Structure 1
Amino acid sequence: MPAPPSCDALLQKIAGLEAQNRTLSLFKASLHAARESMALLNIEGKFVAVNESFAAGLGYSREELLGMEAVKLKPKRLQAEFKQGFALIKEQGHFSLATTYLQKDGTPIACEMSATLVQFGKESVIHVVVKDATKRNGRECLQRRFENILSLSKDLIAYVDTDYIYQFVNEHFCQSQGKQQDQIIGSSIAEIVGEEPFLQIIQPQIDHCLGGNIVRYQDWITCKSSGRRFKAVTYYPDRTVHGHIQGVFAIIHDLTDSKLVQEVKDAEQALLSHVLDSIGGGVYLVSRDHAILYSNSHLEKTRGPVNNRNCYEYIFNRKAPCPWCKNSLLFSNEEPIHWLHQDNKTDRVYDVFESMVELPKGGKAKITFFHDVSTSKRAQEELLSHNMLLSALVENTTSIIYVKDLEGRYLFANKRFEELFNSFGSIAGKTDFDCFPKKDAEQFLENDKEVVATGEVCSFEETLFYEGVERTYISVKFPIVDSEGVCYAVGGITTDITIQKSIEQVLADKNEQLLSLINATPDSICFKDGKGRWLLANEANLKLFELIDVNYVGKTDAQLSRYSDFYRDAFLTCQDTDELAWKQKVLLHGIEKIPMSDGRVKIFDVIKVPLFHQDGSRKGLLVIGRDISELIDSIEEIRVKSKEVQEANIALRVLVDQQKNIVEQTGQNLLANLRHTVLPYVELLSRTDLDDISREYLQLITVHLQEITNSFVKTLGDPSIGLSPKELLVADLVKQGKSSADISRLLGLTQRTVEVYRNIIRKKLRISGKKINLQRYLNEKFS
């Protein structure tokens, strides 16, 4: 396998592709913005791009032309000629010809076509510019009419260009020179009249006229046919619509006979009026002070007679000169002005050309040509806005948008398509087999055929592996038909729904889990929408109302009550309490009794939770009911048992009080017996001769007998304290103030052992580690 390209190589390739794409984008923008009719053909001669002017001129939409072979627009008799020219451009890179195209309705239209081969990277396209020759032919026809008119004039009339070459002469001019028309046209003035007269007399006057001036002079002129004659010569500068001078009209009038003087003036006036009246827009002549000196027939037809009104009154119906008037500027600079005027009062737009002219009797005036272009201007703006909006929508959407012809070749694809699936240049002319695996391409083609066959909008769920991941798309495909309803292409809008499909699957799993959960609970659960219609109910709820085999979704309580007369009242009660929850707009908690068909009555603890949209409208209702029938029975049973226990407690309390009195009486009897029968003998024993230890034991016995009535031993011997018998003895001796040595001697223990017992006692009394005297603590707590 070849080594993969390096990162730098890829970056260079990407940069080259981006530069090529920018160039192509600029080229396309220029193409669509051009006023001339332009189109791009691929090397096979099919349209890949056309501007609006081209499509409109032929009566097609741009979409109809894309992918069409250009030769199909030609009459059959000219198709061979076109193919020859098309082959020629591949060799020479350019060709031009006058030809004929067929409009969509079959009408032939004369055109001038020029084609140039353009290279975009490795791909070649042919740039075609088409000019409507009908206007030129019209001008030629008008020129022939002028020639016929001028040929009738007895004046010598000629037209020379800026190189002093005759472009037109009338018959009388030819007769005066003794030459045929074809001998004069194309020749210079010097060649016809001679070098000396041209340089000394004619050239200076023509140069002055080419400077923008009307030139008049009278002189003796020698003609070959009539000899020397005194003639009046007038040179008129010929200006383009943009004010550029492109030649000179020469009118030579023979003044030898004074009668011809008036005829010359009449001819000049007739010629000028005819020319001005032939112009499609308005033309008027005004003085420096805005007085209208002349208006053409078009202006008077649209605005009526002038009636001595000024231009601002006549044209714009104003009482004072217009704020935008350029009279002062024009009369000062005498430079032609071309501008667009927006009339805010009428919301009209005019294309205006103004220039200075010299009046026959002296002085200057402004001549204004204006044409209403509101409709075309507004149409252009609306079309541009619509195209920009449509282009922005198509190119910035995350959906894939494309158009294919009936052969499956792409006519158009938006930027998103090329970002995802096409990194090899223009998609135009390619098929799905060029961009996708064969299996996917075949499926896409079958879907396209179904759209064409049915003639309807169809939706398809299509899958495609992209970057190693299976993606799911929803494609909406639709037929694109011509004006006769014949399908010629298929459009498509494809949206990636992979994430949505994953979410749907997750939601389906969650719903299944939720359904399993609510079906597993013994509680009765029901979800309703904002209109009280059942959306979901668990099995416990359906069993409760015997709706297991009923399609309950979308039905209200009232509708469900028709399935069971027995539960009708229960359903209607539920409907009433639902409405109460809606109105209160809070969680509703209550007890409801529902009779069963077996005669039992079940008691439910019901919670109703109303849900609302942000605007306060009803969204849904959650109803949860728990069967508390057994709980109620248990509570009743507990109440009965509680009463019985309470009565037993009263009897037990009487027995306890009686036992307490018996214990107290027994204690008193015991104490009385100790005082009368034991203590006297102890007193007698203390008077006998005893050794020291015996006497000390006797003292201890005496103390214990005296304290037997107190609670020290009883309290200190509490099991919760946990002192052993030996520890009790030690604690008792400590309480009496005995030292460790005394306790050691009395109990026969070592002093070390006594200290261990003392520490154990402190620990069990929970005073270990505290600065508390053990003897004082025992006397305070256990006396």
Structure 2
Amino acid sequence: MKKQNVNSTTAAILRQKAEELLKLRTDAQPCVSTNENDVRKLLHELQVHQIELEMQNEELIIAKEKIEQLAKEKYKELYDFAPSGYLSLTKDGDIIELNFAAAKMLSKARSHLIKSRFAFFITEDTRSVFNRFFDAIFTSKIKQSCEVSIANEDNLPICVTIEGVISQNDKYCFLTLIDITERKQAEIALQHFKHIVSNTTDIMALIDKNYIYLAVNKEYTINFNKTEEAFIGASVEAIFGKSFFEKVIKPNGDRCLKGEITNYQNWFDFPNKESVYMDVFYHPYYNEANEIIGFSVNARNITKQYFAEEALKKSEENLRLSTELANVAVWEYNFNTDSMSRSNNHDQLYGLPPQERWKMDTFLDATHPLDREISSGFIQKSVASGGPDNYSFDFRVVYPNKTIHWLNVIGQVMVRNSKGEGVIVRGTLMDITERKNLTEAIKRNERVLQLFVKHSPAAIAMFDKEMNYIVASDRFKLDYRLGEKVLTGRSHYEIF
């Protein structure tokens, strides 16, 4: 209803304007007789209607011009700011028009590119491709396409796909440029990835949540002596057998399908091969909605490593047994972290239960108070810049039951920092209490023997195998008139 009222008002205004124009046209005409009134009235209506049509036509022309102008401006805006590059080239390949996207690809202001030869912006390695494409546009007169690289001021070529068509007058061609650099980089990365996957010695597979193979790499097919087609669409259970699938693969796979990265080691049997010990990783496989739809498999043959580790464990156990039987401990101290790794019997040699952490203070606290300073001095001198790499000393420790034990430590600086200070020191620790006690007993016996010989009423002298005096009695010196001469350590032939 509202629209009808507007139209009625517009029509009334239009008629009023037509009446005014007609009056101006008829004022100069002579009056007609009364019997001509009906004809005059009809003529008046026709003339008014004619003027209305003329005015409507003028308004339509103005409206059309406005619409065309708006369309032209809109088209220019769409052209200028389109995400794809648009160019118009002459038959010689000169640029006569381009939008902002094309100018950006060519790394220059749009105004500076007019009349430039477009082919000069194409990299040399793809320029021949562009030249064939450009010639084909004008010779075949059908849409052509190609992929080339455009040189960039940053020396990073832009990969583009170009589509071109000839103009209606055959004098120009119109090109559309689409930047496909990211796609090309992704394709190259994918090719690299495929190369790595196809040439790795690891076996890889992609399995869906129903344990159906989606993809396998070359090494996977080699190990099973099957073609790739034999795996795609097949179930994992069919390949490995029900027992192994349910016992090993499915429990780990189910954990992975819940979002956990799964790692395990197990023996695998492959056709025409001995059993292989594999290190296996399962990684969840997500779709675009971030839903787990399967998992990837990456397995590596670690059979040699397994046997090497077993041999190392056996060797370490043998070393442990031999060191413990010999009452010897091995250790490695890190001065950066103030911590020590050591054999199981190390702390026992100090009379201590196993310590959670062994620091320098732990060592000093366990050392006899009279030996702490000298023990610390040996160590600090060795690890100081320019100090000796090797050291050895004996020291005492006091057990909780108050008994004193003697230990011998041998250390070697393995790593020094840039200042020359020792960082990693490795060595052995041995209980030498029995040896120390035996040495002390021998020394005591020697002193007793020397006193016995010295004060013997007989002329007695003891010599080593080189005939050097060990001890001589006072009677010996008196009988041979040797007076107060010191004989110990001197040759018998020198004295006589």
Smaller-chain TM-score range?
Answer: 0.5 to 0.7
Query: Which letter maps to 2:209?
Result: L
Q: Is the 8 A contact 1:609 1:623 kept in 2?
A: no
Out of 190, 199, 206, which is 1:396 matched to? Answer: 199
Query: Which letter maps to 2:235?
Result: T
Q: Is the 8 A contact 2:94 2:118 kept in 1?
A: no
Q: Is the 8 A contact 1:476 1:493 kept in 2?
A: yes
Q: Does residue 330 of structure 2 align to residue 529 of structure 1?
A: no
Inter-partner Cα distance in structure 2 for 1:407 and 1:504: 36
Q: Paired residue for 1:578?
A: 379
- 1:93-108 alignment runs, 5 A limit: none
- Give the CA deviation at 1:632: 3.7
Query: Which letter maps to 1:438?
Result: K
Inter-partner Cα distance in structure 2 for 1:470 and 1:399: 16
- Give the CA deviation at 1:449: 2.1
Inter-partner Cα distance in structure 2 for 1:353 and 1:407: 45
**What are the Cα deviations for residues 260-309 of structure 1, in whole angstroms up to 9, with x where unaligned?**
xxxxxxxxxx9xxx9x98997524254769584xx4xxx357689xxxxx
Inter-partner Cα distance in structure 2 for 1:411 and 1:300: 46
- Give the CA deviation at 1:613: 7.4
Inter-partner Cα distance in structure 2 for 1:576 and 1:507: 36
- Give the CA deviation at 1:634: 1.7
Inter-partner Cα distance in structure 1 for 2:427 and 2:350: 17
Query: Which letter maps to 1:501?
Result: Y
Q: Is the 8 A contact 2:89 2:174 kept in 1?
A: no
| Change in CA separation of 1:654 and 1:634 when aligned onto 2, cut-off 3 Å | closer
| Change in CA separation of 1:344 and 1:546 when aligned onto 2, cut-off 3 Å | same
- Give the CA deviation at 1:464: 2.3
- Give the CA deviation at 1:501: 2.2
| Change in CA separation of 1:372 and 1:571 when aligned onto 2, cut-off 3 Å | farther
Q: Does residue 88 of structure 2 align to residue 284 of structure 1?
A: yes
Q: Does residue 302 of structure 2 align to residue 497 of structure 1?
A: yes
- Give the CA deviation at 1:587: 0.8
Q: Is the 8 A contact 1:557 1:575 kept in 2?
A: no
Query: Which letter maps to 1:484?
Result: A
Structure 1 vs Structure 2: percent identity of aligned residues?
Answer: 13
Q: Is the 8 A contact 1:402 1:411 kept in 2?
A: yes
Query: Which letter maps to 2:460?
Result: A
| Change in CA separation of 1:493 and 1:633 when aligned onto 2, cut-off 3 Å | same
Inter-partner Cα distance in structure 1 for 2:398 and 2:244: 62
Query: Which letter maps to 1:590?
Result: F
Query: Which letter maps to 1:629?
Result: K
Inter-partner Cα distance in structure 1 for 2:306 and 2:93: 78
Inter-partner Cα distance in structure 1 for 2:315 and 2:216: 39
Inter-partner Cα distance in structure 2 for 1:409 and 1:302: 47
Inter-partner Cα distance in structure 1 for 2:198 and 2:245: 24
Inter-partner Cα distance in structure 2 for 1:303 and 1:519: 80
Out of 381, 405, 414, which is 2:208 matched to? Answer: 405
- 1:119-130 alignment runs, 5 A limit: none
Q: Paired residue for 1:228?
A: none
- 1:293-312 alignment runs, 5 A limit: 295=97, 299=98
| Change in CA separation of 1:577 and 1:328 when aligned onto 2, cut-off 3 Å | closer
- Give the CA deviation at 1:503: 1.9
Out of 502, 512, 515, which is 2:317 matched to? Answer: 512
Query: Which letter maps to 1:464?
Result: F
| Change in CA separation of 1:496 and 1:352 when aligned onto 2, cut-off 3 Å | closer
Q: Paired residue for 1:434?
A: 238
Q: Paired residue for 2:426?
A: 621
Q: Is the 8 A contact 2:93 2:118 kept in 1?
A: no
Secondary structure class of the residue paired with 2:211:
coil
| Change in CA separation of 1:322 and 1:589 when aligned onto 2, cut-off 3 Å | same
**What are the Cα deviations for residues 373-399 of structure 1, in whole angstroms up to 9, with x where unaligned?**
22x2x1222111221222122222222
Query: Which letter maps to 1:536?
Result: R
Secondary structure class of the residue paired with 1:382:
helix
TM-score (normalised: structure 1): 0.39
Q: Paired residue for 1:262?
A: none
Secondary structure class of the residue paired with 2:288:
coil
Q: Paired residue for 1:244?
A: none
Inter-partner Cα distance in structure 1 for 2:333 and 2:371: 19
| Change in CA separation of 1:605 and 1:637 when aligned onto 2, cut-off 3 Å | farther
Secondary structure class of the residue paired with 2:358:
coil
Query: Superposition RMSD on alpha carbons, in Å?
Result: 4.6
Query: Which letter maps to 2:415?
Result: F
**What are the Cα deviations for residues 377-428 of structure 1, in whole angstroms up to 9, with x where unaligned?**
x122211122122212222222221111122111111111111124255211
Q: Paired residue for 2:120?
A: 324
Q: Does residue 146 of structure 2 align to residue 342 of structure 1?
A: no
- Give the CA deviation at 1:511: 1.3
Inter-partner Cα distance in structure 2 for 1:634 and 1:605: 20
**What are the Cα deviations for residues 512-553 of structure 1, in whole angstroms up to 9, with x where unaligned?**
111111111145x340232352322464x5344221x3334x
Q: Does residue 283 of structure 2 align to residue 482 of structure 1?
A: no
Inter-partner Cα distance in structure 2 for 1:636 and 1:432: 81
Inter-partner Cα distance in structure 2 for 1:604 and 1:350: 78
Q: Is the 8 A contact 2:201 2:219 kept in 1?
A: yes
Secondary structure class of the residue paired with 1:592:
strand
Query: Which letter maps to 1:284?
Result: S
- 1:373-388 alignment runs, 5 A limit: 373-374=178-179, 376=180, 378-388=181-191
Q: Does residue 268 of structure 2 align to residue 464 of structure 1?
A: yes
Q: Is the 8 A contact 1:475 1:493 kept in 2?
A: yes
Q: Paired residue for 1:638?
A: 446
- 1:181-200 alignment runs, 5 A limit: none
Secondary structure class of the residue paired with 1:469:
coil
> Where does the alignment leave 5 or more consecutive residues of structure 1 unmatched?
1-269, 305-311, 659-783
Q: Is the 8 A contact 1:526 1:536 kept in 2?
A: yes
**What are the Cα deviations for residues 711-752 of structure 1, in whole angstroms up to 9, with x where unaligned?**
xxxxxxxxxxxxxxxxxxxxxxxxxxxxxxxxxxxxxxxxxx
Q: Is the 8 A contact 2:100 2:110 kept in 1?
A: no
Residue-pair matches, total: 359
| Change in CA separation of 1:589 and 1:302 when aligned onto 2, cut-off 3 Å | closer
Inter-partner Cα distance in structure 1 for 2:160 and 2:192: 27
Q: Paired residue for 2:28?
A: none
Query: Which letter maps to 2:395?
Result: E
Inter-partner Cα distance in structure 1 for 2:402 and 2:160: 94
**What are the Cα deviations for residues 637-688 of structure 1, in whole angstroms up to 9, with x where unaligned?**
3255356557722569689989xxxxxxxxxxxxxxxxxxxxxxxxxxxxxx
Query: Which letter maps to 1:533?
Result: S
Inter-partner Cα distance in structure 1 for 2:252 and 2:373: 52
- Give the CA deviation at 1:585: 4.5
Inter-partner Cα distance in structure 2 for 1:619 and 1:568: 26
| Change in CA separation of 1:635 and 1:385 when aligned onto 2, cut-off 3 Å | farther
Query: Which letter maps to 2:216?
Result: A
Inter-partner Cα distance in structure 2 for 1:328 and 1:589: 82
Q: Paired residue for 2:460?
A: 648
Inter-partner Cα distance in structure 1 for 2:325 and 2:203: 46
Secondary structure class of the residue paired with 1:373:
strand
Q: Is the 8 A contact 1:351 1:370 kept in 2?
A: no
| Change in CA separation of 1:502 and 1:648 when aligned onto 2, cut-off 3 Å | same
Secondary structure class of the residue paired with 2:256:
helix
- 1:618-767 alignment runs, 5 A limit: 618-625=423-430, 626-627=432-433, 628-630=435-437, 631-642=439-450, 645=453, 648-649=460-461, 650=472
> Where does the alignment leave 5 or more consecutive residues of structure 2 unmatched?
1-70, 122-126, 462-471, 482-496
